[in-house]
Amino acid sequence: MCKNFHNILITGASSGIGAALALYYAKNGAENLFLCGRNKERLKEIEAKCQTYGTNVKAEILDVCDKEKTEKWIKKCNAKTPLDLVFANAGISTGVESAQNIYNTFETNIFGVLNTVTPTVEIYQKRQTKAPCAIVITASIAGYHGLAGCPSYSASKACIKAYGEALRPRLAKEGIQVNVVCPGFVRSRITDKNTCPMPFFMEADKAASIIAKGVSKNIGLISFPLPMRLAAWFGAILPNALSNFIYAHLPYKV
């Protein structure tokens, strides 16, 4: 069950982890789901599937890079029913490290998260009730260390990983829960394009279950699968000369 979370907002809900999270919470008793994405057809499909479980679902075509529209949407959702769980989940892969793709990656993966988190924090801080409320930021195991195969993607995920980890103790004093999610390779439109090896590949529904259970238990860093988490952690603490040698020889993510 959703364990105290009833009104849930998810960005990037038209595919991958976002879509799987929407379906998980719909199946497990969420009262209201607010979903956004950029692909109308896929988003409407997820909306319809979630509604079959009796959940009230509202889907919005939205680009989280638009700060004003994202803030307006979040406040509109909260006005309909007070939000208690918000997933800053929208993100993209870089692909070819062209100038435009690099800027797009940072704009979506960093500023898209900020555009979601900042108005949510303000809403929670103004709340009079002490009911549970949480923010979940989707980073990546790629954020443990800069990767030569995907420098922009790994750097953008490292940024929001650190941001979420810093927010957690800061906002805990105000009764606001913050969780950071660092998944490995999970089925999505991003991984569908990958040509590199993807060890411990996981289906999105399994990942969503791990994430939701971790949020319910208020685990600060929900990082999985364990073998990849341990490898990423170990790589991050190695001396630079050694880690640079290892990471330089990993397959490129394209």
8 Å CB contact between 180 and 161: yes
Q: What is the pLDDT of residue 1?
A: 40
CATH class of 7-248: alpha beta
Q: What is the pLDDT of residue 133?
A: 97
Strands (DSSP E) contained in the chain are 7-10, 32-37, 56-61, 85-88, 133-138, 176-183, 221-224
Q: What is the pLDDT of residue 245?
A: 66
Q: What is the pLDDT of residue 107?
A: 98
8 Å CB contact between 31 and 2: no
**C-alpha angle 173-32-26 in degrees, rounded to nearest 5:** 105
Q: Which of 7, 3, 1, 4 is nearest to 123 (CA)?
A: 7
8 Å CB contact between 32 and 80: yes
**What pTM was computed for the model?**
0.89
Task: Tell me the pLDDT of the chain (254 aa) as tens digits.
Answer: 445 799 999 999 999 999 999 999 999 999 999 999 999 999 999 999 999 999 999 999 999 999 999 999 999 999 999 999 999 999 999 989 999 999 999 999 999 999 999 999 999 999 988 889 999 999 999 999 888 888 999 999 999 999 999 999 999 999 999 999 999 888 766 655 666 656 666 899 999 999 999 999 999 999 998 777 787 777 777 677 666 766 665 665 54
